[in-house]
Structure 1
Amino acid sequence: MVWYSRKFYGLNVHDNWFSIRPGILNKFLIHSFNHVREDKWHPFLIREANYTVELDLTKSKEKILDDFARTVKAQVRKSEEDGVICYFDNNIPKFVAFFNEFAKSKGLSPETNERIAFFGDSLRISYAELNGQILAAHTYVYDPEQKIVRQMHSASKRFDENFDRNKIGRANKYLHYRDMLAFKDEGIEVYDFGGYSPPNSKDVIDSLLQFKLDFGGVKKVSSNYFTLPYYIMRNLYIKFGSTKN
């Protein structure tokens, strides 16, 4: 189980991923249980549907690539020919600096070292690099017990006028592919691309959904569960503070 605790206006808030923490007391404290793949009623918990795209990593490596859309396969191969190098590096300040530059260009909220560090050993950060220059980066929540990874962030240099956008797009897709193979080698069975609709909305972002489906992903509905105190606090924050979960 992946879980972490944080302070929110002096209160202890607990976020759990992929499974529901046992124990009756945990149903009354300030807990969330995010992206739980089982769909069943749990007493004392409030459920919300979570729309996501998953890719099966139990397939052979050859089948994983073969299931990509034709254009994605071509871009992956071209990026490999370009000499793009993919690797993992959990240096949080390095990622935050890269992400915040991307976020500023796209109008997204910046990240902080503290928020990323909450995930502890469950955090994985990957990069695509060419000639010493980072082109794209991903973060994941990593759960070897549940054999699943879920992407949290994706950032790139595609808004930087000094870079070829086509090359950046290819590198980002190549990074997804290399991440899939690395996680498969570690025994991970499910690669979760993350949601394809805005937080707290059922509006589908068609381009984002198609991007994920082009890797051979399949639409899935998982569940987010909240204790009543968490649900009330979260909705107050969304209404009066921020629209970001």
Structure 2
Amino acid sequence: MLETERKAYFFKIKEIWFSDYPFDVKGYDGVIFRECKNNVDVPGFRKEEFTTLVIDLTQELDQIFMDMTASYRKAIRRAEKNGIVVKKSTNYDVFYEINQRFRKQKKLSSYEGGVDVDYMEKYGTLFTSEIDGETVSGSLNLEDEKNIRGLLGASLRFEADKDKMRSIADSNKLMTWEEIKYAKEKGITEYDMGGYYTGTEKDEEKEKINYFKQGFGGKVVTHYIYQKDYSVAYKMAKSTHKIIQKMKYGKQHA
């Protein structure tokens, strides 16, 4: 279980990852439990399903690699051959800037729910990829003893020419593979890719993300999110923020 804290304006929020069940906390305006695997009804908590794609890390590493599509295995080998460098990194400020630019180019809200450089340093496990010494992409993960979960991913692919875009695409696949190897070496048993779209409405962007994740193998599973608001003011502020986001960015990015 991983416990994190973040601030939404002057509200203090507790976020708990990978807990078996939700429970009450004290001293916060609200609490959110993410990636709960058990479906329970707890008085006072709102529950919603969250679909994601999980890779079983108890398998042999060779089997995990072979479960990827042939094109992904080829891309990983090509990235290694071309000297793309992927490493566990502490360059949080560099990744934060890449992520802000990436979100702007995709016309997404810059609001990250309190995921700033300080949050990354305190809670995150960051991997970055470099081409010719330039950091071109990164992936921020959260982990505990048994789970690792993708939280943010961003790259400079919208700023690259065609050849560099291909190299960045290869680097992203190599980066995921290095994360898997890192997690398995630590004894972590599940690699959670951070969501999988199963909505009934057509959403090309989310379906592209699904396609990327599918290439690594794994299994689509349902986890649960539990939320409870302890402050009336916080509850009202959340409702207002949701309305503003929907008006500004549309239904897709609310």
TM-score range, shorter chain: 0.7 to 0.9
Alignment of 1:85-104 (within 5 A): 85-104=85-104
Alignment of 1:69-218 (within 5 A): 69-110=69-110, 115-116=115-116, 117-118=118-119, 121-144=122-145, 147-162=146-161, 164-197=164-197, 203=201, 205-218=206-219
Q: Normalization by structure 2: what TM-score? A: 0.83
Q: Which amino acid aligns with 2:41?
A: W
Structural RMSD (CA): 2.9
Q: Tell me the CA shift for residue 65 of structure 1.
A: 0.6
Q: Tell me the CA shift for residue 90 of structure 1.
A: 2.5
1:61 aligns with 2:61: yes
Q: Tell me the CA shift for residue 124 of structure 1.
A: 0.7
Q: Partner residue of 1:8? A: 8
Contact 1:53 1:217 in 2 (8 A): yes
For this pair of structures, how many residues does the alignment match? 241
Q: Normalization by structure 1: what TM-score? A: 0.86
Q: Tell me the CA shift for residue 237 of structure 1.
A: 2.6
Q: Tell me the CA shift for residue 161 of structure 1.
A: 3.0
Q: Which amino acid aligns with 2:80?
A: E
1:238 aligns with 2:239: no
- CA 1:31–1:202 in structure 2 vs 1: closer, same or farther (change >3 Å)? farther
Contact 1:119 1:141 in 2 (8 A): no
- CA 1:128–1:232 in structure 2 vs 1: closer, same or farther (change >3 Å)? same
| Per-residue deviation, residues 194-239 of structure 1 (Å, max 9, x unmatched) | 11339xx664632221221210121111000011447945444312
Q: Which amino acid aligns with 1:140?
A: N
Q: Tell me the CA shift for residue 109 of structure 1.
A: 2.8
- CA 1:197–1:114 in structure 2 vs 1: closer, same or farther (change >3 Å)? same
The 2-side partners of 1:17 and 1:119 are apart by: 15
Q: Which amino acid aligns with 2:57?
A: L
Alignment of 1:31-46 (within 5 A): 31-46=31-46
- CA 1:154–1:30 in structure 2 vs 1: closer, same or farther (change >3 Å)? same
SS of residue matched to 1:54: strand
Contact 1:68 1:214 in 2 (8 A): yes
The 2-side partners of 1:66 and 1:19 are apart by: 31
- CA 1:25–1:75 in structure 2 vs 1: closer, same or farther (change >3 Å)? closer
The 1-side partners of 2:147 and 2:75 are apart by: 26
- CA 1:24–1:196 in structure 2 vs 1: closer, same or farther (change >3 Å)? closer
Q: Tell me the CA shift for residue 160 of structure 1.
A: 1.5
Query: Percent identity of the aligned residues?
Result: 23
| Per-residue deviation, residues 158-212 of structure 1 (Å, max 9, x unmatched) | 11234522111111111101111011111111111111339xx664632221221
Moved more, 91-100 or 60-69: 91-100
The 1-side partners of 2:112 and 2:194 are apart by: 20
Question: Where do 5+ consecutive residues of structure 2 fail to align?
Answer: none
